[in-house]
Amino acid sequence: MRKILLGLMLGILSTTGYAAAPSGNLMDAQVDVSDQGSLQRGAKLFANNCMGCHSAKYVRWNALPEPLGVSMEMVEDNLIYGAYQAGDTINAAMRSEDGAEWFGAAPPDLSLTARARGADWVYTYLNSFYRDPDASIGWNNKLLANSSMPHVLWRLQGVPEAEYEDTANGVQVAGIRVPDAQQGMLSTAEYHQATRDITNYMAFMAEPVRAKRQEIGVWVIGFLVIFTGLAYLMKREYWRDIH
Ligand code: HEC
């Protein structure tokens, strides 16, 4: 009986502890793929700001309505630009050859990035852009140094600048701050929320069935617990006469 209980507890732990532990200096994205409001805002921000360059080619448009809690018409009206056919996947407006030429690196497909890099990494990346004092670099990124992606959300966040510190390895970026005179449309808290919504949407895209799987998992575990209890009672009942 003890072994069964232990097994059950391990089972429960492994279904709830699905998110990879944050590592290093990453910010905590606190993703919650069952938060439909966040997914809807994230989908909209993603369509408006990211799909010019990035595709999400493993995700089909018609897979979005149910998990986002919206109708297919809303997806068509708000997220899809240009021609679309039922079953189409999420494509970038730009050809990746052009991206490689214009930015020095082709903007990668983002379907699985939140799983490959981790959601906290994506969230931190979107909060790590700064204007490099070296004008030939332009936008830089504290997490991915010399990233060729421009800070596409600067209108929202403002124009962040880096604070430097002397370390044993030379001068390094210690932190990032948006000076008062360079604030964007959103407050710091609102920008965090916006980038969290985008990250949440990317986490959902990387594993669209996760919310459903967790929901089913709870029922399965519940069933197992009740079933184990019943089986135990039955065993006692059967063995009572034999002892
Ligand atoms: C103007 C084109 C452009 C736009 C718009 C754009 N990106 Fe990028 N993005 C790039 C390029 C180019 C890279 C490759 C950077 C590199 O490797 O140096 C990149 C890389 C990334 C990466 C890192 C992927 C990895 O695994 O290395 C993430 C995450 C990302 N973009 C997210 C976003 C999100 C989210 C948006 C919308 C808010 C967005 N991008 C909008 C061009 C763009």
What would the pLDDT profile of 116-132 be if each residue is shown by its tens digit? 999 999 999 999 999 99
Q: What is the dihedral of CA 26, 59, 109, 203, to 10 degrees?
A: 0
Q: Which domains does the chain have, with CATH numbers?
A: 2-16+35-208 (1.10.760.10)
The model's pLDDT over 13-55, given as tens digits with 9 standing for 90+, comes to: 555 444 444 446 899 999 999 999 999 999 999 999 999 999 9
Residues with CB under 6 A from ligand 1: 49-50, 52-54, 99, 103, 105, 107-108, 110, 113, 117, 122, 125-126, 147-150, 152-153, 198
Residue nearest to atom 8 of ligand 1 (CA): 149
Give the residue, out of 48, 53, 141, 202, with the most ligand 1 atoms within 8 A of its beta carbon, to mutate for a pocket test.
Answer: 53
The model's pLDDT over 157-200, given as tens digits with 9 standing for 90+, comes to: 999 999 999 999 899 999 999 999 999 999 999 999 999 999 99
In sequence order, the 6+-apart residues with CB closer than 8 A to the CB of 47 are 78, 79, 80, 81
